[in-house]
Structure 1
Amino acid sequence: MSEVTTFREVFKVFLRLGLTSFGGPAAHLGYFHDEFVRRRQWLSESAYGEVVALCQLLPGPASSQVGLAIGFLRGSYRGALAAWLAFTLPSAVLMTLFALGLGVWPGAAQGGWVAGLKLFVVAVVAQAVWQMGRTLCPDRVRQGLAVLVAVILLVAGSAAMQLVALGISGVAGLALRVPPGDRQAVLSLPVQGRRPMVFLMLFALLLLMSFLPMQAGTQSWLAAEMYRSGALVFGGGHVVLPWLEEGFVASGQVTADTFLAGYGAAQAVPGPLFTFSAFLGGAVGGIPGSIVALVSVFLPGVLLVFAGLPLWQWLRQHDQARSMLAGVNAGVVGLLLAALFDPVWTSAVHSPAGVAFVLAAWWALAVVRVPVWLLAPGSAALGAAFF
């Protein structure tokens, strides 16, 4: 099969997934399993499990990284590009259009429909904390680490303190010998000379550059904020919320209402939650800002996948490294737990009616399992009617 044919094949399959994959990261992994393991048999069950395990350990959007890895395994770097473009573009275009619409009609971000979306976001993040807690904190040690990180951030929350708290949880995971999970030895990728280290060093260099002082609102500032968020987020799309809130709301680039309205809308579109970055970039810098933000937030995850896949055999054999990452993942739950209170809860819930709305939305989401693409616009409509 030629490279052009492979690109088209991968692009076509992932475009359909990008247009129909509602439900967030966990649902995406299910869609990928059905499509690429059961139907097309591009990967074996065990190989897919290893790809998912690796991407869960890396910073960045786990489901998008799994898709990127599948495209890479199918068609090398061209296949990876096809997978990322096709899976990301549909939701990115919708989120950019939403940002431009709010730019034309700024008063729309103050309406009752935004209040409904903000309350819906509280239920979504609460459900994410619950699900991630069950997966990433299965024992008392990791539950304790999650609570410790949440306490630290609630008392002294800042972007720098988030890094410190996650560092503490990683060191604690190593010191307490957090169980790293079972080893697997199915996915075999030879180390490609120096190329993985080149990707890893480029990732680190760009991360260091993202901490340089820049004028807020410029394209370079936007790229730095997004790259830093994408590089330091463990746990997937929901966890990017506190990082981006610190950069965009605390700096005054967007209002809290606009920020949470965009995040609520991101729940209602298919594809990766990281396309929320396209909304923020569009709100700050129009279509060019949307493109810069989108590429910048995904770039670190892409570099880490290209570095991590060939080095997976090494990482699999080192329990110390995996114990540290397990500790960081537990800390991520605490990070999201702190964000659930501030800014999500404090910005959205101001009355007993708001509490009732959140409880009803959570029940519909977690118990009745109403699809998010129905629940988000429904919450906006109810908010417009009652708030």
Structure 2
Amino acid sequence: MAKTRQIRYIIFLKDVLILALTCFGGPQVHLTMFLDRLVKKHNYITEAEILELQALCQVLPGPTSTQTITAIGFRLGGASLAYLTLLVWILPGTLLMTLAALGVTYVEKDQLTNLTRFIKPMGVAFIIFAAFSIGVKVIKTKTSIFLMLLAAIAAFVFPSPYITPIWILLGGLATSFKFGEQEKMEKQPIKVEWSNFFLWLGVFMFSVVLGKITNNLPVRLFENFYRNGSLAFGGGHILKPLLYNEFVEFKHYLSADEFLSGVAIVEVAPGPVFSISAFVGALSMREWGTSGEVLGSIVASVGIFLPGTFLIFFVIRFWNELKKYRGIRASLEGINAASTGLTAAAALSLYRPMAFDLVADLTIILTLILLQTRLVPTYIIIFIGLFLGWVII
């Protein structure tokens, strides 16, 4: 019996690797592929269960697809299989983004500018499209419109890495008072196992204290990414403005051009959008040489993915009872509205430097048309942009 389970776990990890190499796009695209391979083909989990897990992960901070597939591994084989699932799932994307960062380091500035001439506005278009796609799905009331606009204005006027969690929490709190509009559900006592919550909190506090004491760059980077991974409600599209504000606007570890190049490249990388952290982490430590960039990539990747994993392990045990509380369900409206506004603000901030560039404007418009019509796959759009930047002087 134990040997049969081990064989099943190996097959499952093989399926995870195949998904990690072939899943392009965001959580919605990933979910379709998860359903096809993990449900229809091998029946690791039912369709209803995977849809419920996806819904839960959308509520939590962190990478939605990563948390979903890690939670499936947890249900199949406990924490050990879950952590192996996490590693296999994130490895291809983070490796590719690390190699991209190493390439950026050794490319001359003029060459990078030419190569990414079309990629940078494409990156802006991807964020605009994300804001629109999210907004169409979640902005349905006057309250959500108001909260979205407030969050967008606040994030644009005060581009601080702390504005995002503040507005997400305020948005959730504001709509939680609309609990009366939610259907009543029969509730059971909630039994909470706190171990993973304390693990999440303990790692966070330890990294903050250790970073302050040592002032060591890798330790501080781990804390930065761990904090962002703990506060990125809304998936990779919310993580991008968080990282942009902190590492470009405030710490100047990357230029805006480099960051936008990373945004574009991660769209053609397989696996989670959160793998952009490997790119940002590597370039944040470029002064340490190649070994430093590799270390920065590892530190950033571990830091960004761990908190979401700890939190899904914590919440999944009592989610069935927690979601029966109307205030919890009502708060999702405000959280989603604030997330949409923050994404729109990020797009506007990134667009501002290229606002009067006709080529950039036309590139953004054309990219948005292609994304909306879905006539051309995302990775093909990016390859076209790279090709044009290479051949057009």
How many Å separate the matches in 2 of 1:371 and 1:221?
A: 37
Stretch deviating more after TM superposition (36-45 or 21-30): 36-45
Q: CA deviation at 1:381?
A: 2.0
How many Å separate the matches in 1 of 2:94 and 2:194?
A: 30
Paired position in structure 2 for 1:239: 238
Paired position in structure 2 for 1:293: 300
**Aligned partner of 2:360: which letter?**
G
Paired position in structure 1 for 2:256: 256
Question: Identity rate of aligned residues, in percent?
Answer: 30
Paired position in structure 1 for 2:178: 176
Give the 3-state SS of the residue equivalent to 2:43 in structure 1.
coil
Paired position in structure 1 for 2:152: 150
How many Å separate the matches in 1 of 2:102 and 2:384?
A: 22
Give the 3-state SS of the residue equivalent to 1:157 in structure 2.
coil
Q: CA deviation at 1:135?
A: 2.0
Paired position in structure 1 for 2:357: 351
What TM-score, normalized to structure 1? 0.91
C-alpha distance 282-108 of structure 1, shift in aligned 2 (>3 A): farther
Is 1:369 the counterpart of 2:375? The answer is yes
**1:201 maps to which of 187, 198, 205:** 198
Write out per-residue CA displacement over residues 50-104 of structure 1, whole angstroms, 9 at most, x where no aligned residue: 1111111111110111111111112211221232122211111111111111222
Stretch deviating more after TM superposition (32-41 or 103-112): 103-112
**Aligned partner of 2:118: which letter?**
G
**Aligned partner of 2:84: which letter?**
A
**Aligned partner of 2:194: which letter?**
M
Paired position in structure 1 for 2:16: 14
Whether the 8 Å contact between 1:91 and 1:269 is mirrored in structure 2 is yes
Q: CA deviation at 1:301?
A: 0.4
**Aligned partner of 1:267: which letter?**
E
User: Where does structure 2 lack aligned partners over 5 or more consecutive residues?
Assistant: 286-291
How many Å separate the matches in 2 of 1:184 and 1:358?
A: 49
Whether the 8 Å contact between 2:113 and 2:257 is mirrored in structure 1 is no
Whether the 8 Å contact between 1:58 and 1:304 is mirrored in structure 2 is yes
Give the 3-state SS of the residue equivalent to 2:152 in structure 1.
helix
Q: CA deviation at 1:176?
A: 3.4
How many Å separate the matches in 2 of 1:209 and 1:180?
A: 39
Paired position in structure 2 for 1:27: 29
Is 1:96 the counterpart of 2:98? The answer is yes
**Aligned partner of 2:199: which letter?**
L
Give the 3-state SS of the residue equivalent to 2:117 in structure 1.
helix
Whether the 8 Å contact between 2:168 and 2:233 is mirrored in structure 1 is no
Write out per-residue CA displacement over residues 109-138 of structure 1, whole angstroms, 9 at most, x where no aligned residue: 632221211111111111111111122223
User: Where does structure 1 lack aligned partners over 5 or more consecutive residues?
Assistant: none
Give the 3-state SS of the residue equivalent to 2:254 in structure 1.
coil
**1:164 maps to which of 159, 163, 166:** 166
Paired position in structure 1 for 2:116: 114
Whether the 8 Å contact between 1:111 and 1:384 is mirrored in structure 2 is no
Give the 3-state SS of the residue equivalent to 1:325 in structure 2.
helix
Paired position in structure 2 for 1:317: 324
| RMSD of equivalent CA atoms | 2.5
Q: CA deviation at 1:220?
A: 0.9
How many Å separate the matches in 1 of 2:259 and 2:389?
A: 17
How many Å separate the matches in 1 of 2:111 and 2:326?
A: 48
Q: CA deviation at 1:368?
A: 3.7
Whether the 8 Å contact between 1:14 and 1:83 is mirrored in structure 2 is yes
Give the 3-state SS of the residue equivalent to 1:115 in structure 2.
coil
Give the 3-state SS of the residue equivalent to 1:159 in structure 2.
coil
C-alpha distance 182-337 of structure 1, shift in aligned 2 (>3 A): farther
**Aligned partner of 2:332: which letter?**
L
C-alpha distance 308-181 of structure 1, shift in aligned 2 (>3 A): farther
**Aligned partner of 2:75: which letter?**
L
How many Å separate the matches in 2 of 1:183 and 1:386?
A: 61
Paired position in structure 1 for 2:347: 340
Paired position in structure 2 for 1:63: 65
**Aligned partner of 1:245: which letter?**
Y
